[in-house]
Amino acid sequence: MGFEVIPAIDVSGGRLASYSPAGPVPESAFDGDPLAAAGDYAAAGARWVHVVDLDLAFDGLARNLDVVRAIVALGVRVQASGGIRTSAHAHAAIGAGASRVVLGSGALRDEAGAFDAIAAFPGRIVVGIDVDGDRIRSRGAAGVDLPLVETLGWLVAGGAPAFLVTAVARVGSLMGPDVAAVKRVIRAGRPVIAAGGISSIEDLGALRASGASGAVVGRAALEGGLDLERALHLGLG
């Protein structure tokens, strides 16, 4: 199985944005145009784009489905993320053309609801785990604070097929991934995609060596600090 390198864009109001604890912040890269960013990633060889709906994450309103549709029309697959907490949210993203949906950590306050979403879209759900030490602490409006190991236990027992592990303290920092956290989640026995702090080819290599199945790269890809084409063509994509 290959190691997927997935460049990411965050979107608010149909424009590029970045996450802050207080809410979305406008992003100047690519003149704020999410299609320009996605097109650049596709030209570099990306097969997937990770699209984070910051409006859904903070306000509970899915205002960016047209962006998903437009990116899908470019010929790349979309992994939709950001505030997806219910089967209805997942259904809307898949209806807009997303190939895969990340069920946000905020969904984990409701075990039955999380299981409903997983069961409703077999093979198309990845469970998001926002890791802060030995806790799961979600970002956005739907805050949860859960024990990591115990939560992984009931998720695996309930059929969670894969996890997206985000190192909360490293989001947007370019300080390197939290490989130790990724390894802790890998022990649960499911494929793991890593996110948070990734800035270099070396970071991606360390994650691949740890056993991760892929990585989501945000700021480093958006600002050009990572040679995305090289990452995607070194057997990492």
Q: What is the pLDDT of residue 163?
A: 98
Q: Give the separation between CA 104 and CA 125, rounded to whole angstroms.
A: 10
Q: Residue 197: exposed, middle, or buried by beta-carbon count in 10 A (0-12, 13-18, 19+)?
A: buried
Maximal C-alpha separation, the chain: 45
Q: Using pLDDT thresholds of 50, 70 and 90, give the confidence band for residue 189.
A: very high
DSSP 92: H
The residue that leads in pLDDT, 236 or 193, is: 193
Domain spans of the chain, in order of start: 4-232
Q: Using pLDDT thresholds of 50, 70 and 90, give the confidence band for residue 21.
A: confident
Q: In this structure, how many other beta carbons lie within 10 angstroms of the beta carbon of residue 66? A: 11
Which architecture does CATH list for 4-232?
Answer: Alpha-Beta Barrel (3.20)
Is the alpha carbon torsion for 24, 217, 125, 72 positive or negative? positive
Lowest mean pLDDT among 36-45, 93-102, 223-232: 223-232
- Averaged pLDDT, 181-201: 96
CA 220 to centroid of chain Cα atoms = 15
- Averaged pLDDT, 154-159: 94
Q: What is the pLDDT of residue 2?
A: 77
- Averaged pLDDT, 20-36: 94
pLDDT digits (tens, 9 = 90+) for 126-143: 999 999 999 999 887 667
> Closest Cα to residue 87, out of 109, 112, 63?
112
Q: Give the separation between CA 151 and CA 192, rounded to whole angstroms.
A: 15
Instruction: Give the residue numbers annotated as catalytic, written as ranges.
Output: 10, 130
pLDDT digits (tens, 9 = 90+) for 36-62: 999 999 999 999 999 999 999 999 999
By three-state DSSP, how is residue 41 classified?
helix
